[in-house]
């Protein structure tokens, strides 16, 4: 009886951990290109940075407060920007049992945003289902934030190549743009891409976006906290450890070293303001410094030379 109860508790613990994805460091960077509706109309280009900014309670239910910053541009055929403007949208997000739910301040009717409990053959309601339902074709796995997440390949009759719904992250076509209406010649009106995603476990790059998901990934998806922390050297040759400058004395810090795709390489406590990197293969990495509460304070790109 005791062993059965212990097994049940372990399974419940694993399930609970597997279903918790969001934290206060969660952010998404996505881009979109919108084709003109008619001849002579300009293209639209969009950059979105979505981040969780706090907590709130609505009708007795806990939500994360979220804000999406939009930078929108109208671009001529020649590539010239003819109009540009920015604005913020505020909304609320919560997760429960592997599902994300969303409401907006103007409409407190909650709706399902993403469901990560799908099986092959299930219909996935991603935003709106335009011209046919999206059906799960197969399920693979990909590294996200140091762990393996399910990647649901979604397709429909008139778009067999489809896209991916990534467990705990969202759609590979953008956090909100999983399904877009076709226009005119049957092609999608909007081409959206989720470029990168991050939470306290690190950065996950889905599609590189120069200036945000490559060399300066952290500056885009990490909150602008002035910590004064520095990591050196950034260019590693024969060094067996890296120095971390700017840590408060008598505080506990840990580190996480991840590859370009967000997969964890190593992690542990920071002893003597140094992080051991002995045996590290040549390549590009992100080293994150985390405080005792689990908040990521600083992330810096380091390169190990051949």
**CA dihedral defined by 288, 294, 296, 298, rounded to 10 degrees?**
-60
Domain C-terminal end among 158, 185, 220? 220
Does 273 fall in a domain?
A: yes
Its domain, for residue 197, covers: 21-220
Query: Taking 50 as the threshold, does the pLDDT of residue 138 lie above it?
Result: yes
pLDDT of residue 240: 92
d(CA 180, CA 161): 14
The mean per-residue pLDDT over the stretch 17-38 comes to 74
pLDDT of residue 270: 94
- Please give the span between the terminal C-alpha atoms of the chain, in angstroms, as a whole number: 57
Q: For the segment 119-137, what is each residue's pLDDT rounded down to a tens digit?
A: 999 988 765 544 567 889 8
> Is 279 in the same domain as 169?
no
> Is 114 in the same domain as 238?
no
> Is 241 in the same domain as 175?
no
Q: For the segment 139-162, what is each residue's pLDDT rounded down to a tens digit?
A: 877 777 667 788 888 887 777 777
Domain C-terminal end among 188, 220, 252? 220
> Is 236 in the same domain as 177?
no
The mean per-residue pLDDT over the stretch 243-249 comes to 91
The region, left, alpha or beta by phi > 0 then psi within -120 to 50, assigned to residue 250 is: left
Query: Taking 90 as the threshold, does the pLDDT of residue 29 lie above it?
Result: no
Give exposure, 231-246, as e/b (b: 16+ Cβ within 10 Å): beeeebeeeeebebee
Query: Taking 60 as the threshold, does the pLDDT of residue 252 lie above it?
Result: yes
Domain C-terminal end among 157, 187, 220? 220
Q: For the segment 256-273, what is each residue's pLDDT rounded down to a tens digit?
A: 887 754 567 888 899 999
Q: For the segment 83-110, what is each residue's pLDDT rounded down to a tens digit?
A: 777 888 899 999 999 999 989 887 778 8
Does 242 fall in a domain?
A: yes
DSSP alpha helix (H) spans, 131-231: 217-221
> Is 99 in the same domain as 192?
yes
The mean per-residue pLDDT over the stretch 183-210 comes to 69
- Return the structure tokens found at 232: 């050196």
Does 107 fall in a domain?
A: yes
Does 132 fall in a domain?
A: yes
> Is 230 in the same domain as 243?
yes
> Is 216 in the same domain as 229?
no
Number of structural domains in the chain: 2
The mean per-residue pLDDT over the stretch 215-227 comes to 40
Residue 241: pLDDT band (50, 70, 90) is very high
Does 185 fall in a domain?
A: yes
> Is 43 in the same domain as 137?
yes
Length of the chain: 306
d(CA 303, CA 306): 10
Residue 226: pLDDT band (50, 70, 90) is very low
204 or 14, higher pLDDT: 204
Query: Taking 80 as the threshold, does the pLDDT of residue 30 lie above it?
Result: yes
> Is 127 in the same domain as 259?
no
pLDDT of residue 179: 45
């Amino acid at each position: 009886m005791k062993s059965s109860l212990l097994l049940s508790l372990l399974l419940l613990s694993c399930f609970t951990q597997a279903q918790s994805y969001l934290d206060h460091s969660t952010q998404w960077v996505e881009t979109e290109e919108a084709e003109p509706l008619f001849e002579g109309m300009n293209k639209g280009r969009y950059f979105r940075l979505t981040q969780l900014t706090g907590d709130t309670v609505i009708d007795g239910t806990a939500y994360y407060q979220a804000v999406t910053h939009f930078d929108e541009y109208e671009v001529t055929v020649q590539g010239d920007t003819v109009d540009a403007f920015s604005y913020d949208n505020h909304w609320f997000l919560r997760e429960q049992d592997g599902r994300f739910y969303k409401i907006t301040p103007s409409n407190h009717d909650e709706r399902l945003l993403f469901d990560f409990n799908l099986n092959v053959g299930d219909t996935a309601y991603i935003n709106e289902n335009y011209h046919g339902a999206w059906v799960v074709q197969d399920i693979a796995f990909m590294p996200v934030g140091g762990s393996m997440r399910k990647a649901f390949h979604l397709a429909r009759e008139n778009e067999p190549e489809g896209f991916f719904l990534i467990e705990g992250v969202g759609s590979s076509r953008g956090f909100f743009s999983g399904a877009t209406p076709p226009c005119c010649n049957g092609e999608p009106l909007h081409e959206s891409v989720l470029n990168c995603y991050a939470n306290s476990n690190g950065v996950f790059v889905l599609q590189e976006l120069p200036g945000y998901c490559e060399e300066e990934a952290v500056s885009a998806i990490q909150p602008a906290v002035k910590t004064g922390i520095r990591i050196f050297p950034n260019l590693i040759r024969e060094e067996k450890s890296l120095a971390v400058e700017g840590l408060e004395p008598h505080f506990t810090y840990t580190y996480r070293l991840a590859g370009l795709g967000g997969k964890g390489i190593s992690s542990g406590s920071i002893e003597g303001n140094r992080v051991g990197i002995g045996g590290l293969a040549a390549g590009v990495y992100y080293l994150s410094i985390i405080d005792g509460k689990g908040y990521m304070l600083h992330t810096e790109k380091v390169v190990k030379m051949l």
